[in-house]
Amino acid sequence: MKSKLEYIWLDGYKPTQSLRSKTMVRNNFGGTLEECPVWSFDGSSTEQAEGNDSDCLLKPVAIIPDPDRNNAYLVMTEVLNADGTPHETNGRATIDEGDDDDDFWFGFEQEYFLWDMTTNRPPGFPAGGFPDPQGQYYCSVGAKNAFAREVIEEHLDLCLEAGLNVEGINAEVAAGQWEFQIFAKGAKRSGDEIWLGRYLLERTAEKYGYAIEWHPKPLGDTDWNGSGMHANFSNGAMRDLGDESVFTKICEEFGKNIERHISVYGADNDQRLTGKHETQAIDEFSYGVSDRGASIRIPVGTIEDGWKGRLEDRRPASNADPYKVAAAIVKTTKEAMAK
């Protein structure tokens, strides 16, 4: 039997990378990562190489079934130079091997807009105009409030069938805006799952004539919410010690490293992090219990459980690379714990 392996990678476009993929056909494939060979591609077509030296390599790092094609798999890869070293566009390689263990858990809340290619607006927006003000769309139901649900439901089913650890979906604050949440243990695995979830979303929406708009503020300087990728995170000490000072130390350390985080939290994030629409200003830092206007929110559940649990960094944008986000969070948290 022949199997289809869809090799997925991130290109070299700036300031925001895009997903790319191509199909390899294999005989008698058993479905394991070890059976997936390294594969080359033309990096000159993806802003990752020059035409006179164009070969780049795809190193498989994760594999899941592809439930939307017959006898198929999705293979997440990272890009290497021809000599086998990590390509400069390889965000996964920014996670040190010593930082990639199950001690760190991540739950990413991936917001996005569906985008109608005929109106150049999200579904629910009239061409060249706006629907009723936001408020009625969050976690909504009904044709006046929730738009293109068929895309979202199909995407959820595909993710679950593929084995991605999606923990929920919901309609978001703006019309045509949705969210899915993925939890994973380990910095690299969490990034793999978000990128695979994004890929399935792009391909599902494609069937319905929609694009996915990852920009953090696609509706410009209006009173409509932007899109984030809130990063919930914890390590063993946060989950087990029950010590308020641990959380305080971590939050304070994040406040000392604003640029480290903002630099990898997504392009054009300044348009979203304005201090309005449930955000803190991009050049300021704050943390607080149940405060969705803070840089970092301390969930009420963490306190109720005796200061055992997680923190939520609300600053990452919807277009941020989860690998780079996780790498920055791990680095700053470890520095806080070392003091």
- Give the start-to-end residue ranges of the domains of the chain: 2-87, 105-227, 228-339
Instruction: Express each pLDDT in 79-134 by its tens digit.
Output: 999 999 999 999 999 998 887 789 999 999 999 999 999 999 999 999 888 999 99
Give the predicted TM-score (pTM) of the model.
Answer: 0.96
For residue 307, name the pLDDT band (cuts at 50, 70, 90): very high
- Backbone phi and psi for residue 269, each to the nearest 5 degrees, phi listed first: -70, -20
Residue range 193-211: mean pLDDT, rounded:
98
Q: With 90 as the cut, is the pLDDT of residue 221 above it?
A: no
> For 275-302, b where at least 16 C-beta lie within 10 A, e where not — what string?
eebbbbebeebebeeebeebbbbbeeeb
Q: Are the folds of 2-87 and 228-339 the same?
A: no
Per CATH, the architecture of 2-87 is what? Roll (3.10)
Pick the CATH number of 105-227 from 3.90.480.20, 3.40.640.10, 3.30.590.10, 3.30.230.10: 3.30.590.10
Per CATH, the architecture of 228-339 is what? 2-Layer Sandwich (3.30)
Q: Give the torsion sign (CA, 77, 78, 83, 87).
A: positive
So what's the pLDDT on residue 163?
98
